[in-house]
Amino acid sequence: MRQAPYRWTKLGVVFDPTRSAVPGAKWIKEFAQAPSVILKDDVVRIYFSCRPAPDERGQYTSHCTFLDVNPDDVTEVIRVHHRPILPLGEPGTFDQFGTYPISVAAFEDRFRAYYAGWTRCESVPFNTAIGVAESNSDGEQFEKLGPGPVIPYTPDEPFVLSGPKIRRFEDRWFLYYIAGRKWIIDHGRPEPVYKIRVATSDDGLQWKKENRDLIPPRIEDDEAQASPDVIFSNGRYHMFFCYRRSRDYRGHAGGYRIGYASSHDALHWERDDTRAGIDVSETGWDSEMISYPHLADIDGTTYMFYLGNQVGKHGFGVARLEGEL
């Protein structure tokens, strides 16, 4: 028997950097992407990735920072951090040109962040790998644990390792991420196809990859999948992720949508997008696409933070779950 969709109430945009200037912050002019929540004593901290204006060649860099919101009204921004939480990498490193996306978890007396580092390429626009950093400064600044990635390329995962989402279940680390499958040419432009994967670890540093795709494609074989966020509730694991067509995906028809899957062990998944319960709006900031979902339980209420049109160029918003998962 098919189960009913979850019900979400959209609460609107939380932060739009194109409308909310941060004094002196030239590094944050556009985009607020891949929100990741940490609960503090009196605020909800949301880490995200942002960009300065493009350079003279139209090239972007990306940086990670955070903002704090009111736990009683998660659309009320209390403050935006005044600088990036991570420096870009040195020349030749995997994160020389950007850090995006980022996922942060509280760990013992510190915070640990997993992030995708960007480097530029000749034959294709970019490549990414997953790095790790830690903070002993209340999560305000992070220090990389090394200049290289913690999740590197392998023969089975040759490029575009990105979209890290970190979770801990029963004292074990689960890192959900995406791995590139191929590059295709669409209107003369290389576009990546990537699928969702997972690795597990006892310490969050030495990882065992499952080496298989977790979610079967639905709309086409080359469906691209991203941002696999997992939460445990009522005896099941619930994954919300996003997916898009491989071509012509920058508009309404082929743009990102949010999908859903469930699992009994956090490793093997049954996809049922009809249960996701959230879609694009008829008009407004999320009328063309919705993507990069992140779930957080705040004072007994489940919220989904997500990106809208142009993959978060005008920021991220939030929806509230009516009922429970």
Q: Is 215 exposed, middle or buried (0-12, 13-18, 19+ CB in 10 A)?
A: buried
| pTM reported for the whole predicted model | 0.96
* Sign of the alpha-carbon torsion through 228, 235, 44, 13: positive
Find out whether 6 and 313 touch, Cβ atoms under 8 Å: no
The answer to whether residue 55 scores a pLDDT higher than 90 is: no
Mean local confidence (pLDDT), 193-211: 97
Q: How do the domains of the chain map onto residue ranges?
A: 28-322
The answer to whether residue 127 scores a pLDDT higher than 80 is: yes
Q: How confident is the model at residue 53 (pLDDT cuts 50, 70, 90)?
A: confident
For the domain spanning 28-322, the CATH number is: 2.115.10.20
Instruction: Give the span between the Cα atoms of 150 and 132, in whole angstroms.
Output: 6
Could you read off the pLDDT of 1-49 as tens digits, one per residue? 678 899 999 999 999 998 877 777 788 888 999 999 999 989 999 999 9
Mean local confidence (pLDDT), 180-188: 93
140 alpha-carbon distance from chain centroid: 19
pLDDT at residue 99, as a whole number:
96
Mean pLDDT over the full length of the chain: 94
